[in-house]
Structure 1
Amino acid sequence: MERQDIEIFLVLAEELHFGRTADRLFLSTALVSKTIKRIERQLGVRLFDRSSRHVMLTDIGRRLRADLHPHQQGIQQALERARLARNDITGTLAVGFMSVLAGTLVVQGRHRFRAEHPQCDVRVVETQVHHFVSQLRDGTVDVLLMSLPVDEPDIRVGPVVARRNRVVVASADHRFAGMDSVSWEDLAGETLPTAVPTFPDYAVDFHAPPRTPSGRRIERFTEPVATYLEALTMVSAGRMLVLGDTQLAQYYNRPDLVYLPVHDLPPLEFALLWRTCDDDDPRIRAFVAATVAAAPRTGP
């Protein structure tokens, strides 16, 4: 018996219907019937009792099914193991994150990735604001999840996995403290952080715009800040404000600070990044797909 003959026999033994068997195997009913007759002729035994209304296994047919079924399962499992071994991903992938939200999304992606590719480990690394994308460039991480914008010729910007509305953080005694929300124009005359030199100007201007829509000046703090905690400490002291997103109120909830929506600033987007030279790395492609699939579907 050929492998297809065995499959036809086992499916018919399960369905006990020539039409359904043919549909499952994408064959013609005539071919199924012809194959069963040929098997019976070769073995010299009757495997099915057929009538115009019923198809039933004979005693010999039931014994043959019981003998063949575990062997067919073993063959299918062996073929599936070979297929997975061909496509399996091994080694270690280093994944960076910037911000608590990005860390949460990376961990969710890691769980799904490891379930799909158990032979590949994932090492999670925190990236600070002052690193920007330097840890990608020096190989510390292979993938990075952080807020946009990122516009670098050697860095690939992948899918956006989260969006959050923008907020401004002020001290509890600031003039904004009694307001429900503020506008971009309200920031005129206020002071926002100065980023470290490793942060490019286009990113600084997005996260801390130098002017309002009408052109009024927004000041910059005299000293650069490298982390969120440094910036929030200066905010608490009344030295400046910080623009961020809604995760700040969630993860840095402090009684000395207030978090107010800025209703006319574009939302903050968080995307997966990797080196353009690694576009064909199967580990990166698989991790990106897993993280996108695991990310909650939330909008601004």
Structure 2
Amino acid sequence: MELRQLQYFLTVAEELNFSRAAERLQITQPPLSLQIQHLESELGVLLFYRNNRHVELTDAGKVFADEVRKMLDYLRRAIENTKRTHHGEIGKLTVGFVGSATYDILPMVLREFRSLYPDVQVHLLELPTPKQIEALREDEIDVGVLRPPVHDENIRTEIVSSVPCVLAVPKQHPLVNKKDISLTDLAPYPFVMLSRKTWAGLYDEILGLCSPTIQQEAFEFQTVIGLVAAGMGIAVVPQSAMNLHTQDVEYIDLNNQFPAASMGVSWRRNDQSPLVKAFIKIAMETG
């Protein structure tokens, strides 16, 4: 049984006239009649009552027509969805992200991506950078929005944004009114640090710059700033976090004495997914 035979059968079933069906199919009537006979022979049932003046579906033919119509509709959808998936118009994309990306580039990237690809299912997983790298290796996420650097030759990373770091201190802190603050001025004050497990690069750079006395560590910048607001210490945070706890925290620009906070997107180097490519392109243009 061939797909062509089913299409021929359905056309005759719709027209109930072999001449009109042949005209629709752009073939002559004899080969059309022959294909219907072959189909009936293969099925072992009569599909049409026919004579020189009249063509009518048998009861078996009516059931077969309904089922063939469903099958061809399903096949058309399958072909369409396959093509749309190939072009990145539908499918599923799993994105890992660090918590601080939610007040950085992630909302803008997601809005743009969803507007361009509304039929793509986007699944989000909040993970620190080391966990994202592991998840990429294990094919658990398709793309990561994370804090560079990434040291893995099988994972490609592009920097999409970079903002200065600033000093977050509690309201009424002695440093608020001090002019020309240097790194040595920070020595008397305890620090709240973002955990090295979350962002090893920034952690190590701060330790190398000012050897802080660490009072407390936290896994996300939101928590770090909350602890600063509670008076637990001072902290180095990205400038993009300055809208957090503005009533309880002062942010001080130390004129680039701290490292910049970069945000990157990472994906498997051999991944050819059009959805991944589209997400990366949007992230780089948005950043």
With structure 2 as the length reference, what TM-score do the two structures score? 0.58
- CA–CA distance in structure 1, aligned partners of residues 151 and 182 of structure 2: 27
Counterpart of 2:221 in structure 1 is 228
Counterparts in 2 of 1:73-222, with a 5 A limit?
Answer: 85=84, 87-89=86-88, 90-102=90-102, 105-128=105-128, 131=131, 133-158=133-158, 160-179=159-178, 182-196=181-195, 198-199=197-198, 201-206=200-205, 208-212=206-210, 217-221=211-215
Number of aligned positions between the proteins: 206
- CA–CA distance in structure 2, aligned partners of residues 192 and 124 of structure 1: 31
Name stretches of at least 5 consecutive residues in structure 2 with no aligned partner: 1-79
The structure 1 residue matched to 2:253, chosen from 247, 254, 261, is 261
Name stretches of at least 5 consecutive residues in structure 1 with no aligned partner: 1-80
- CA–CA distance in structure 2, aligned partners of residues 152 and 93 of structure 1: 22
Q: Deviations over 1:89-118 (max 9, x none)?
A: 232001232245546633332333344444
Residue 86 and residue 239 in structure 1: after superposition, are their counterparts in 2 closer, same or farther (change >3 A)? closer
- CA–CA distance in structure 1, aligned partners of residues 160 and 102 of structure 2: 9
Residue 230 and residue 200 in structure 1: after superposition, are their counterparts in 2 closer, same or farther (change >3 A)? closer
- CA–CA distance in structure 2, aligned partners of residues 218 and 181 of structure 1: 19
Counterpart of 1:249 in structure 2 is 242
Counterpart AA for 2:279 = F
Counterpart of 2:3 in structure 1 is none
- CA–CA distance in structure 2, aligned partners of residues 102 and 187 of structure 1: 29
Report percent identity of matched pairs.
Answer: 19
The 8 Å contact of residues 97 and 132 in structure 2, kept in 1 or not, is answered as no
Residue 231 and residue 109 in structure 1: after superposition, are their counterparts in 2 closer, same or farther (change >3 A)? closer
- CA–CA distance in structure 1, aligned partners of residues 94 and 110 of structure 2: 11
- CA–CA distance in structure 2, aligned partners of residues 286 and 107 of structure 1: 16
User: Cα distance, 1:286 vs. partner?
Assistant: 1.5
Counterpart AA for 1:227 = E
The 8 Å contact of residues 166 and 267 in structure 1, kept in 2 or not, is answered as yes
User: Cα distance, 1:219 vs. partner?
Assistant: 2.1
- CA–CA distance in structure 2, aligned partners of residues 258 and 210 of structure 1: 24
Counterpart AA for 2:145 = L
Q: Deviations over 1:11-66 (max 9, x none)?
A: xxxxxxxxxxxxxxxxxxxxxxxxxxxxxxxxxxxxxxxxxxxxxxxxxxxxxxxx
Residue 151 and residue 103 in structure 1: after superposition, are their counterparts in 2 closer, same or farther (change >3 A)? farther
The 8 Å contact of residues 144 and 274 in structure 1, kept in 2 or not, is answered as yes
RMSD: 3.4
Residue 135 and residue 172 in structure 1: after superposition, are their counterparts in 2 closer, same or farther (change >3 A)? farther
The 8 Å contact of residues 129 and 146 in structure 2, kept in 1 or not, is answered as no
Residue 257 and residue 85 in structure 1: after superposition, are their counterparts in 2 closer, same or farther (change >3 A)? closer
User: Cα distance, 1:127 vs. partner?
Assistant: 3.2
The 8 Å contact of residues 94 and 141 in structure 2, kept in 1 or not, is answered as yes
- CA–CA distance in structure 2, aligned partners of residues 93 and 145 of structure 1: 13
User: Cα distance, 1:203 vs. partner?
Assistant: 4.1
Residue 195 and residue 115 in structure 1: after superposition, are their counterparts in 2 closer, same or farther (change >3 A)? closer
The structure 1 residue matched to 2:265, chosen from 262, 272, 291, is 272
The structure 2 residue matched to 1:283, chosen from 254, 275, 278, is 275
Residue 233 and residue 155 in structure 1: after superposition, are their counterparts in 2 closer, same or farther (change >3 A)? same
With structure 1 as the length reference, what TM-score do the two structures score? 0.56
